[in-house]
């Protein structure tokens, strides 16, 4: 009886290890990420795992930046914080909490304020004097976010 029990437990464990794992869709990207606090320009990958978004930028074959965005927080490496705190530390305290998620998913920001639809995407120009002067463009496989007041440039180009 003991041998049968051990055999069943072993089979159950091995089945768990060999079970099918769902492949996470990934996209090869080229990223320019320049803020007063973070500067990265290199190849990387973007993963969309349900409600979780992950951006990885590599330099010399090593992960230089791992950014994970969930509905409630942003993690950089092992440090997790609220989206509001991430904006305060790395972007601008005046940005909405949804800004980073919207950028990564190529969605309109600031509720679509100042949006002009184009044949291949859209453009948004959003200015609040003294706080931000944003130009945001989504065309084909490119995302470009520029804020001249806060000195932020984020460009993401999907590789075909």
Domain boundaries, the chain: 22-158
Percent of the chain scoring above 70 in pLDDT: 84
Provide mean pLDDT across the span 100-104.
95
20 strand-pairing partners? none
Q: Please tell me the predicted confidence (pLDDT) of residue 39.
A: 92
Provide mean pLDDT across the span 41-53.
91
Alpha-carbon distances of 108 from 16, 28, 60, 101, rounded to whole Å: 41, 22, 33, 10
In sign, the C-alpha dihedral spanning 74, 76, 79, 85 is negative
Q: Is this model's pTM higher than 0.85 or not?
A: no
Mean pLDDT of the chain, nearest integer: 87
Put residue 41 in one of left, alpha, beta given phi > 0 → left and psi -120 to 50 → alpha: beta
Q: Please tell me the predicted confidence (pLDDT) of residue 59.
A: 81
Q: Please tell me the predicted confidence (pLDDT) of residue 26.
A: 77
Asked if 134 and 125 count as a contact pair (C-beta separation under 8 A), the reply is: yes
Q: Please tell me the predicted confidence (pLDDT) of residue 21.
A: 46
Quick: pLDDT tens for 56-79: 998 877 888 899 999 999 999 789
Phi, psi of 82 (to 5 degrees): -65, 160
Q: Which of 129, 126, 130 is nearest to 146 (CA)?
A: 126
* DSSP at 24: P
């Amino acid at each position: 009886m003991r041998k049968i029990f051990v055999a069943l437990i072993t089979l159950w464990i091995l089945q768990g290890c060999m079970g099918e794992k769902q492949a996470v869709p990934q996209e090869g990207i080229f990223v320019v990420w320049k803020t007063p606090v973070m500067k990265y320009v290199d190849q990387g990958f973007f993963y969309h795992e349900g409600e979780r978004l992950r951006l990885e930028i590599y330099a010399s074959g090593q992960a230089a930046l791992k950014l994970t965005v969930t509905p409630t927080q942003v993690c950089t490496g092992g440090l997790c914080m609220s989206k509001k705190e991430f904006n305060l530390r790395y972007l601008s305290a005046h940005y909405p909490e949804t800004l980073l998620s919207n950028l990564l998913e190529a969605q309109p920001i600031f509720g679509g304020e100042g949006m002009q639809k184009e044949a291949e995407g859209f453009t948004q120009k959003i200015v609040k004097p003294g706080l931000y002067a944003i130009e945001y463009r989504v065309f084909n496989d490119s995302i470009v976010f520029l804020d001249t007041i806060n000195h932020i440039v984020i460009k993401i180009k999907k590789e075909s």
